[in-house]
């Protein structure tokens, strides 16, 4: 696992890469500088209670600061970037603290006491990226969130720098630690809510620091793709456990799913089958691969698995062509991952913009690009028993190719999803998730937040 020294060594090249991207993007819109806002604190309706702060992903790409509302990064090509860190005078709350770190050497740093002080630091012909705040039009920005600039920055974000990959490896380890603790809690008979608390404790993350809300589903709850209800009472009978939960490090996310059966059964055979085909799909992640081909391969493999376990009675090819596989696998096989869990640019045709739509029969696929070296994607095939989709299949005629007795036996388990985070490299796929689980198994004393 990378150390703090490794991150410090990789960080200057990361900043240089971002400066290069911004320089090219500014040329495309004829601007001389870019200001990136961290974002603003938002308050709830008719209340003085703020929502958890969510930092602008463009801001945290530059600086590993996740709690700095009102702050800015300013980039002028050919100059050291500027960090304007807002630290207001406040005795009601603890103001944000400027973190220590060698990374600060890459910036000209100014600590501000009032948000409007940032205006004086804006160079002429500055474009702005971020949440448009009240009065932004009066600051004299040359452009607010210009689409041509965002297209170039979003497209380039798919290929990660070495610094970003190092952060994502750490995020994977944090997520794996949480997963191991959650499995122990499930095996001990904990409720979904209690499992969630064990995940937080092991990962060392506050709930607001999670990259997305944990999906912790026992038994039939696994049939709900984004299940976040978290029952406080433990299930009477434990049949299955699906956990989709990630870690976060310096603003970079991991996104990991595992499914477990409590005993040998046809469902455990299904879990094993999804595991095998998921690894076949991970092996396809490589520079130049057209990502929809991985998705279509997932449907072919799932079609064969459904026949093998007795859910579908027609040939695998027919199951795909008739749309039967979509009844049991209704989502995309994965997406880009990085500063955001569903990272931007997945449907972007080129750095100049345009849309590359998903295949007509697979509208939920989030990534339709060829993979570049350094791209990080999720690979997450699944098989689920979802009442709504099963009812539709029964009513539209596809149900004649389904063994309903087998479905009735498997439905109480909910479903299966296995998800890894994989880097496309010229040397072959780098599976961040499998490496993270291996590292914690070989180092049982590894802590949560390295």
pLDDT at residue number 102: 92
Q: Is the pLDDT of residue 272 over 90?
A: yes
Which residues neighbour 389 within 8 Å (Cβ) at sequence distance 6 or greater?
A: 326, 327, 328, 330
Mean pLDDT of the chain: 95
Among 243, 244, 254, CA closest to 175: 254
Q: Which domains does the chain have, with CATH numbers?
A: 4-156 (3.40.350.10), 162-442 (3.90.230.10)
Q: What value, to the nearest 5°, has the Cα angle with vertex 280 and ends 274 and 281?
A: 85
For the stretch 315-371, pLDDT in tens is 999 999 999 999 999 999 999 999 999 999 999 999 999 999 999 999 999 999 999
Give the end-to-end CA distance of the chain in Å, rounded to a whole number: 9
For the stretch 195-239, pLDDT in tens is 999 999 999 999 999 999 999 999 999 999 999 999 999 999 999
| Residue appearing with tokens 């009032």 | 114
For the stretch 72-129, pLDDT in tens is 999 999 999 999 999 998 888 888 888 888 999 999 999 999 999 999 999 999 999 9
Q: Is the pLDDT of residue 414 over 70?
A: yes
Question: Which of these ranges, 64-68, 160-164, 174-178, has the smallest mean pLDDT?
Answer: 64-68
For the stretch 289-308, pLDDT in tens is 999 999 999 999 999 999 99
pLDDT at residue number 447: 44
Among 314, 328, 321, 225, CA closest to 273: 328
Among 328, 344, 338, CA closest to 417: 328
Q: Is the pLDDT of residue 432 over 50?
A: yes
pLDDT at residue number 242: 98
Q: Is the pLDDT of residue 445 over 90?
A: no
Q: Is the pLDDT of residue 393 over 70?
A: yes
| DSSP character at residue 347 | T
Among 127, 243, 275, 222, CA closest to 178: 243
For the stretch 11-59, pLDDT in tens is 999 999 999 999 999 999 999 999 999 999 999 999 999 999 999 999 9
Cα dist from 392 to 221, 400, 417, whole Å? 20, 12, 22
């Amino acid at each position: 696992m990378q150390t703090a020294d490794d991150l410090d060594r990789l960080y200057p090249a990361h900043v240089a890469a971002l400066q290069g991207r911004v320089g090219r993007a500014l040329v495309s819109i004829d601007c001389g500088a870019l200001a990136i806002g961290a974002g603003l604190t938002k308050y709830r309706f008719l209340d003085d209670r703020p929502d958890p702060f969510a930092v602008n992903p463009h801001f945290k790409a530059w600086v590993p600061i996740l709690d700095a509302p009102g702050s800015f990064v300013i980039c002028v090509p050919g100059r050291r970037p500027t960090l304007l860190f807002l630290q207001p005078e406040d005795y009601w709350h603890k103001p944000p603290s400027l973190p220590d770190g060698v990374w600060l050497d890459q910036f000209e740093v100014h600590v501000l006491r009032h948000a409007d002080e940032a205006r004086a630091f804006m160079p002429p012909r500055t474009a702005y990226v971020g949440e448009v705040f009240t009065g932004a039009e009066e600051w004299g920005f040359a452009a607010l969130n210009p689409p041509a600039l965002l297209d170039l920055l979003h497209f380039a974000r798919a290929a990660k720098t070495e610094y970003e990959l190092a952060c994502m490896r750490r995020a994977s380890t944090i997520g794996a630690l949480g997963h191991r603790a959650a499995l122990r809690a499930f095996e001990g008979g904990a409720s979904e809510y209690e499992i969630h608390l064990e995940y937080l404790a092991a990962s060392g993350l506050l709930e607001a620091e999670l990259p997305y809300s944990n999906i912790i589903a026992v038994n039939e709850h696994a049939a709900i793709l984004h299940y976040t209800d978290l029952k406080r009472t433990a299930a009477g009978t434990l049949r299955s456990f699906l956990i989709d939960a990630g870690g976060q490090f310096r603003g970079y996310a991991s996104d990991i799913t595992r499914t477990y059966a409590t005993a040998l059964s046809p469902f455990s055979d299904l879990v094993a089958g999804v595991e095998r085909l998921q690894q076949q799909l991970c092996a396809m992640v490589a520079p130049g691969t057209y990502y929809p081909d991985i998705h279509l391969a997932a449907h072919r493999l799932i079609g064969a698995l459904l026949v093998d376990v007795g859910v579908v009675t027609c040939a695998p090819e027919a199951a795909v062509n008739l749309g039967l596989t979509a009844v049991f696998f209704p989502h995309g096989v994965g997406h880009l991952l990085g500063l955001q869990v569903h990272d931007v640019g997945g449907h972007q045709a080129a750095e100049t913009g345009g849309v590359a739509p998903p295949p007509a029969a697979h509208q939920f696929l989030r990534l339709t690009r060829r993979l570049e070296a350094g791209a990080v994607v999720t690979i997450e095939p699944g098989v689920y028993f979802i009442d709504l989709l099963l009812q539709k299949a029964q009513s539209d005629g596809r149900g004649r190719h389904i063994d309903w007795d087998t479905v009735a036996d498997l439905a109480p388990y909910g479903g299966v999803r296995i998800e890894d985070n994989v880097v496309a490299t010229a040397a072959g796929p780098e599976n961040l998730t499998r490496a993270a689980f291996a590292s914690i198994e070989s180092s049982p004393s590894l802590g949560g937040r390295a």
